[in-house]
Structure 1
Amino acid sequence: MRKVTTLVLLAICSFAFGQIERVEPPNWWANMNSTELELLVYGDNISNLDPEFSGNINIKKVVKVENPNYLFVTVDTEDITAGTHTLSLKKGKRTVDSFNYEFKTRRDGSEQRKGFDSSDVIYLLMPDRFANGDPSNDSTSETIEKANREHQGGRHGGDIQGIIDHLDYINELGATTLWSTPLTLDNEKVYSYHGYASSDLYKIDPRYGSNEDFASLSAELHKRNMKHIMDFVPNHWGLSHWLIQDLPSSDWIHFWEGGENGFKRSNYIQTTQFDPYASEIDAKGCMDGWFDYTMPDMNENNPMLITYLVQNAIWWIESGDLDGIRVDTYPYNDKKGITEWVTRVMEEYPNFNVMGEIFMHETAHIAYWQKDSKVGAIQGFNSNLPTVMDFPLHDILPRVFKEDQQNWGDGVYRIYDHLTKDFLYPNINNLLIKMGNHDVNRINQEFDGDVDKYKMALTLIMTLRGIPQIYYGDEIGMLGDKGKGDGDIRRDFPGGWTGDEQDAFTSKGRTTKQNEYFEFTKNLLNWRKGKKAIHFGETLHFSPVDNVYVYFRYLPDNPNETVMVVLNNSNKDQKIDLARFEEGIQSHTKALEIISGMEYEINQNLDVAAKSGLVFELK
């Protein structure tokens, strides 16, 4: 295997002309908005060959780079018709090698595909830990790490077929959208199950299945009127990525002198992206530093790399029939480069959605990264990124529901205060809100398995502005302590493997407590599906008193679409005088509580049990 060096790239001494080993993207589509396609053509010492396309396809530009094993061939696709065309590499009049390149027909309406939005509920899972539908691919001859379910940080065997086998479970739960952590090949020697160190951006890891299986997953989701989000990782690739092992040129990665293979760890100070006082060395240390030893940091100042990443995203959207992309470690990317990337993707699909992981803890810092942000505009920056993650809300949730007394600023007042900062966001509906994910303590671990606290937190998440996301297993009360290692917060879903002692995918297989979690989640999520006031409505809230928080979601032009939420976060039953909330109740006289199904008269008092929430449809 070729190795990365400091200034030059090895394996460039041969003068024999070899075969074409790769062409990326491996195929394309006719009738794309972008009329240029930059093909990466790879093979031993091919840079002295001349590319030629059949079918009168116009080659607009050929770029040769440091490494003679590459040609970058830009073709004009404006008038290309679907079909297979021959790409030939020639030495004079002699054809040295050729490649049959296919331009496919796009799906009808592909350009106008609608992305996920605030009418959806996202179900996040880690494929290796969800369900093993095909044990025959647990270990493969072409991948290094073999299955070992006894090892917390090893491969456990979950796969795409396991997800497909349990889509009806996710659908029954009421989630409308699936987000899986990365499924592309991660062929590192150890700890590869998470998928965030890709070895091939165009290939599904065979331990998960095939590219065809990935497309089948989308098809099965769409049969159920569900959506599919792909996890995309442009900031860093795996050290074992074939392109990293034989770089086109030294400026495709951030190479640090003195470090083994150019490694220097990021300082992780994301605020240097906008800090007006940041030193250059700190900014470079964040954006150019490697996320980890096995994850070389990609140089998005390189326009050829950005084009490669844009085309890769478009290729997966088309071939995988996607409804959204989640971008990992968004602020670690070069700001200019990642903005060009998201802009070009959204130009191809104007109704699509891209969500960036902004793992920061201040509302202003998150808002900076959303498209059309006034915060970013202060520095003349517009990210063009539609959706960001409300991590500050996630940060306070564990504290909120463990604080029985409001005092000043405690308990549900933290939620009230947090929402007062929403004016910083240009689009509050495009905020991902969540109780947890694959990088933090499970919410039920934070609540010590207290189902009442879970119910209140879920009620909040499912009725606030934004796009709610739950993490696999939360709906059955799964625990996980990050202090015990990432594997503990990424436990196997019980019943996903043949021979499991319990099958929590079925009502009969769940314990009584697990069913209490599940049924509450199911009822709330399925009710939410039809509530436009929750999806796109306005918010009216009242400052909490005695740790009781009351807010309304409503459509201004439709008074029949009004939802009132009451959260009693105290450890005592409370009788609430509703007169204070007349501004939200208005002329409504009755209310249907959606979990219990009980109908209430909207009079002067409302009894609310300790540590509980009520969700009313006002009539």
Structure 2
Amino acid sequence: MEKRKLIHLLLALTLTIFGGVSVKDVKAQQSNVSKWPKGVTYEIFIQSFADSNGDGIGDIKGATAKLDYLQNLGVEAVWLMPINPSPSYHKYDVTDYYGIHLDYGTMDDFKQFISEAHKRNIKVVIDMVLNHSSSEHPWFKEALADENSPYREYYVWTHKNDPQAQREGKTTGADSYNTQHWHKVDGSDYLYYGYFYGGMPDLNYDSPKLREEVFKIGQFWFSEVGVDGFRLDAARHIYPDERATDNHNWWIYFLSEMKKANKDVYLVGEVWAPAEIVGPYLKGLPALFNFDMGFAITKAVNEEDAGDLVANHKKIREYYQNINPDYVDATFLTNHDQNRIMSEVNGDMNKAKMAAALLLTLPGSPYLYYGEEIGMRGKKPDELIREPFLWDVKAKDKIRTTWMQPRYSTDESVPPLAVQMKDKNSIYNHYKSLLQLRNKSQALTYGELVPLELNTKGLSAFERASEKQSLLVLHNLSKDPISVKLPQQLSGYKKVYFKNKAAKLNKGTVSIPAYSTVVLEK
């Protein structure tokens, strides 16, 4: 007995020295059945997350200090919005693909972040912006200054007197590119192509030299830095829409090259489009964001009616599985480009909680946007959906960023994390309980989806079944209690596996309070 205590004491001491991970946290993760990329990923905007040095700007050391928080929440990976040097606050216009923005720290800081994340079984995915560079990138500045520069072919050009001129090294004419995306060069007869705006000139993927440069960049971050994956920005716009097949093939090529650096490479792509356009990308991008599901969940909770949410989700999943049986369905509510979910439900806490419950019980590999778990609010313009995370009441919050004045997520509108942790009914504890539920459930992590129609308005009902577990998930999306008699085919569900309010199961009848969830197990 004393020997066993000594072993536990030594283990605790070792974990305290190497990374500050408690025995309790290790046991919790060991009991999880989920394994990333099927686990939950947390999106972080470093600029707004946590400030370690008091300059008002979030940094990598600040994020490192909050890894224990993320582990305790139940997160198994983080996605960092761009961390490369950039002239903008959002950093989606890169000036150095091999560096870390000075405000965020150093490469050594980032390698330490990866090391500490991995100690906690948290993977690290970084935003990789390969569609375009910044107009301040040395490549573009040199190409702009000298038409004979070797970097000229890294970008897309046309002559102002010849709008049909062919792109260098390209077989399709420049008319494939909408004229509104061409930008004038002062003192020159040439225009350059920038799909998003003039400060983001598109890279020319018809250039073999550019393609090789991009492979070097990717392999550097995998082999020398040690990241686990990339989130690929604007993945649909490598080539124009008329060259969709070239887009699909490029990502297949990119994936094969990245596997040379990391055989377990994870690539998740941003292809914001209907399923029939998204589907073909799955051969090169095994994970893609499911924008349709986020919109459908928001609609369902706002209307208090699931409608065809579950049936459509199953239909889209089957379509994608036919293209790539191993695809990863990156589900989410909203992200850094969209109004926050709390604002989308007009500040209704019940509906925000229901949206989280749907996301974390339906199939997929969910992404959470930082601050979503504490009910942060925000509406466009973009800066206002990327406001500082509220860690503690303002007088005590030494790590809160101050680079901007928030309009939506303030101390008056959002209780900070430290306050919510002490409130068992807070949205933070709601998220945490759902993450724990999902992480420990075979069916919720890996199970197939069976939509159910129980003819009860306001009720979303579906089964999640794996080889080891079968669950019946019931969400009451409405403001009124629901009582439903389970049909004969569901009579085997006799055990309450999870509930977040006082739901009851009595002789095959389930009573579900307003805005609540109950999960039954066979």
TM-score (norm 1): 0.65
Tell whether 2:435 aligns with 1:566.
no
Alignment counterpart, residue 129 of structure 2, candidates 216, 233, 254: 233
Structure 2 CA distance for partners of 1:417 and 1:499, relative to 1, 3 Å: closer
Q: How do 1:350-365 and structure 2 match up within 5 A?
A: 350-360=263-273, 362-365=274-277
Deviations 1:223-281 (A, max 9, x none): 1111110110111111111222224232210124349xx9xxxxxxxxxxxxxxx9983
Q: Identify the match of residue 471 of structure 1 among 358, 362, 369.
A: 369
Q: Indicate yes or no: 2:492 matched with 1:551.
A: no
> 490-499 vs 440-449, which deviates more?
490-499
RMSD: 3.0
Partner of 2:74: 174
Q: Post-superposition shift, 1:493?
A: 0.9
User: Would the aligned equivalents of 1:120 and 1:176 in 2 still touch at CA under 8 Å?
Assistant: yes
TM-superposed deviation, 1:562: 1.7
Q: Counterparts of 1:127 and 1:116 in 2: how far apart (Å)?
A: 25
Counterparts of 1:588 and 1:542, CA distance in 2: 14
Q: Distance in 2 between matches of 1:466 and 1:498?
A: 36
Question: 1:526 is paired with a residue of what secondary structure?
Answer: helix
What's the CA shift string for 1:180-222, capped at 9, x where partnerless? 1000110x2xxx1211101100010111001111111111111
Matches within 5 A, 1:485-504: 485-495=381-391, 498=398
Q: Following the alignment from structure 1 to structure 2, what is the Cα–Cα distance between the partners of residues 131 and 430?
A: 30
| Alpha carbons of structure 1 residues 594 and 314: separation in structure 2 relative to 1, 3 Å | farther
Distance 1:532 1:429 in 2: 18
Find the partner of 1:344 among 257, 270, 275.
257
- Counterparts of 1:231 and 1:389 in 2: how far apart (Å)? 14
Task: Name the counterpart of 1:527.
Answer: 437
CA distance in 2, matches of 1:314, 1:230: 13
Shift in alpha-carbon separation, 1:502–1:416, aligned structure 2, 3 A: same
Cα separation, 2, equivalents of 1:257 and 1:543:
60
Contact (CA 8 Å) 2:282, 2:327: kept in 1 or not? no
CA distance in 1, matches of 2:495, 2:253: 52
Q: CA deviation at 1:390?
A: 0.7
Aligned equivalent of 2:318: 423
More strand by percentage: 1
2:352 counterpart (454, 467, 470) = 454
Which has the larger share of helix? Answer: 2
For the residues of structure 2 that align with 1:234 and 1:216, how far apart are their CA atoms? 25
Equivalent in 335, 338, 354 of residue 440 of structure 1? 338
Q: Structure 2 matches for 1:76-155, cutoff 5 A? A: 117-135=36-54, 138=55
Higher relative contact order (CA 8 A, sep 6+): 2
Task: Tell me the distance in 1 between the aligned counterparts of 2:439 and 2:422.
Answer: 26
3-state SS, counterpart of residue 478 of structure 1:
coil
2:102 aligns with 206
CA contact (8 A) 1:592 1:599 kept: no
2:428 alignment partner, one of 500, 518, 532: 518
SS in 2 for 1:541: strand
What is the CA-CA distance between 1:534 and the residue it aligns to? Answer: 1.9
The aligned counterpart of 2:153 is: 251
Identify if the C-alpha distance between structure 1 residues 339 and 174 changes in structure 2 by more than 3 Å, giving closer, same or farther.
same
The answer to whether the 8 Å contact 1:118/1:468 transfers is: no
* Partner Cα distance (2:342, 2:269) in 1: 25
Separation of aligned partners in 1, 2:297 and 2:504:
29
**In 2, Cα distance between equivalents of 1:602 and 1:562:** 19
Structure 2: which amino acid aligns with 1:454?
A: A
CA distance, structure 2, for counterparts of residue 455 and residue 161 of structure 1: 31
Structure 1 residues 512 and 465: CA distance shift in structure 2, 3 A: same
Overall identity of the aligned pairs, in %: 25
Q: Say if 1:429 and 1:465, in contact at 8 Å, map to a contact too.
A: no
Q: SS of 1:299's equivalent?
A: coil
Q: What SS does the corresponding residue of 1:201 show, helix, strand or coil?
A: coil
Query: How many Å apart are 1:594 and its aligned residue?
Result: 4.8
Instruction: Identify if the C-alpha distance between structure 1 residues 609 and 160 changes in structure 2 by more than 3 Å, giving closer, same or farther.
Output: same
Q: Partners in 2 of 1:249 and 1:368 — Cα distance?
A: 31
1:215–1:319 contact (8 Å) kept in structure 2 = no
For 2:389, the aligned partner's letter is F
Partner of 1:403: 303
Kept in 2, the 8 Å contact 1:524–1:595? The answer is no
Following the alignment from structure 2 to structure 1, what is the Cα–Cα distance between the partners of residues 353 and 108?
39
8 Å CA contact retained: 1:117, 1:430: no
- Residue 432 and residue 492 in structure 1: after superposition, are their counterparts in 2 closer, same or farther (change >3 A)? same
CA distance in 2, matches of 1:338, 1:600: 50
The question of whether the paired residues in 2 share the 8 Å contact of 1:159 and 1:209 is answered with yes
Question: What amino acid is aligned across from residue 510 of structure 2 in structure 1?
Answer: L
For 1:223, which of 119, 135, 148 is the aligned residue?
Answer: 119
Relative to structure 1, the CA distance from residue 397 to residue 587 in structure 2 (aligned partners, 3 Å threshold; closer, same or farther) is closer
Task: Decide whether the 8 Å contact of 1:476 with 1:515 is kept in 2.
Answer: no
2:168: which partner in 1? none
Matched with 1:281 is 175
Mark the runs of 5 or more structure 2 residues left unpaired by the alignment.
1-33, 144-149, 164-171, 183-192, 240-246, 401-409
**Structure 1 residues 492 and 508 mapped into 2: Cα distance closer, same or farther (>3 Å)?**
closer
2:462 maps to a residue whose letter is: Y
